[in-house]
Chain A
Amino acid sequence: MDFFMEFPSLSRAELASLRRSIDGAFRDFTRSWAETLESFFNPLLRFLVWFENLLLATPWPVILIVIGGLCFAGARSWKITAASVLAFVTIGYFGMWEDTMSTLAIISVATFLCIAIGIPLGIVMARSDRMQAAITPVLDVMQTIPSFVYLIPVVMLLGIGKVPGLIAVCIYAIPPIVRLTNLGIRLVDKDILEAADAFGASPRQKLWGVQVPLALPNIFAGVNQTIMMALAMVVIASMIGVQGLGVPVLRAISNQYLALGVMNGLAIVALAIIFDRVSQTYGKRLQAHRKGHGHD
Chain B
Amino acid sequence: MTDAKVRISNLYKIFGKAPQKVLPLVRDGLSKTDLLEQHNHVLGIQNVSLDIPEKRIQVVMGLSGSGKSTLIRHINRLIEPTAGEILIDGEDVLSMSDSQLQDLRRFKASMVFQKFGLLPHRRIIENVAYGLVVQGKSAAQCDKQARHWIDRVGLSGYEDHYPAQLSGGMQQRVGLARALATDAEILLMDEAFSALDPLIRYDMQSILLELQNELHKTIIFITHDLDEALRLGDNIAILRDGAMVQQGDAQQIVLKPADDYIRDFIKDINRGRVIRLGSLATGQPPEQGAPLSGDTLLEDALTQLVDAPDQRLAVANKEGRLIGAVTLKDALQAMRS
Contact = CB atoms under 8 A, between A and B. Distances in A.
A296 B164 CA distance: 12
A192 B103 contact: no
B104 interface: yes
Interface string B105-119: 111001101011111
B134 interface: yes
Interface string B123-157: 00000001101110000000000000000000000
A12 interface: no
B164 A199 contact: no
**Dominant SS at the A interface?**
helix
Given A199-B182, A200-B134, A192 B162 contact: no
Given A199-B131, A199-B134, A192 B117 contact: yes
B235 interface: no
A275 to B, nearest CB: 25
Given A192-B117, A214-B120, A201 B164 contact: no
Given A192-B117, A289-B120, A198 B165 contact: no
B187 to A, nearest CB: 11
Given A199-B106, A199-B182, A200-B134, A194 B165 contact: no
Contact of B120 (A194, A199, A290): A290
Nearest to A206: B134
A281 interface: no
A205 interface: yes
A202 B111 contact: no
A103 B181 CA distance: 53
B164 A292 contact: yes
B237 to A, nearest CB: 21
A60 B133 CA distance: 48
B102 interface: yes
Given A197-B78, A295-B165, A210 B105 contact: no
B83 to A, nearest CB: 23
A293 B162 CA distance: 9
A284 to B, nearest CB: 14
Interface in B72-129: 76, 78, 101-107, 110-111, 113, 115-121
Interface in A193-236: 194-202, 205, 209-210, 213-214, 216
B103 A200 contact: yes
B195 to A, nearest CB: 11
B119 A200 contact: no
Given A214-B120, A295-B165, A191 B105 contact: no
Given A197-B105, A205-B134, A289 B111 contact: no
Contacts of B164: 289-292
A295 B134 contact: no
B103 A195 contact: no
Contact of A289 (B78, B101, B121): B121
Contacts of B78: 194, 197-198
B209 interface: no
B134 A198 contact: no
A202 B102 contact: yes
A294 B163 CA distance: 11
Contacts of B121: 213-214, 216, 289
A192 B119 contact: yes
Contacts of A213: 121
B113 A195 contact: yes
A289 B162 contact: yes
B166 interface: yes
B337 interface: no
B102 A200 contact: yes
30 contacts: A191-B113, A191-B115, A191-B116, A191-B117, A192-B119, A192-B120, A194-B78, A195-B111, A195-B113, A196-B134, A197-B78, A198-B105, A198-B113, A199-B105, A199-B134, A200-B106, A200-B134, A201-B134, A202-B102, A202-B134, A209-B119, A209-B133, A214-B119, A289-B121, A289-B163, A290-B120, A292-B162, A292-B164, A292-B165, A294-B165
| The 10 A-B residue pairs with the shortest CB-CB distance in the complex, in nearest-first order | A195-B117, A200-B105, A200-B106, A198-B111, A289-B162, A292-B164, A199-B131, A200-B102, A191-B115, A292-B165
Given A194-B78, A199-B178, 16 more contacts: A196-B130, A199-B105, A199-B134, A200-B102, A200-B105, A200-B107, A202-B102, A289-B120, A289-B162, A289-B164, A291-B164, A292-B164, A292-B165, A292-B166, A295-B166, A295-B170
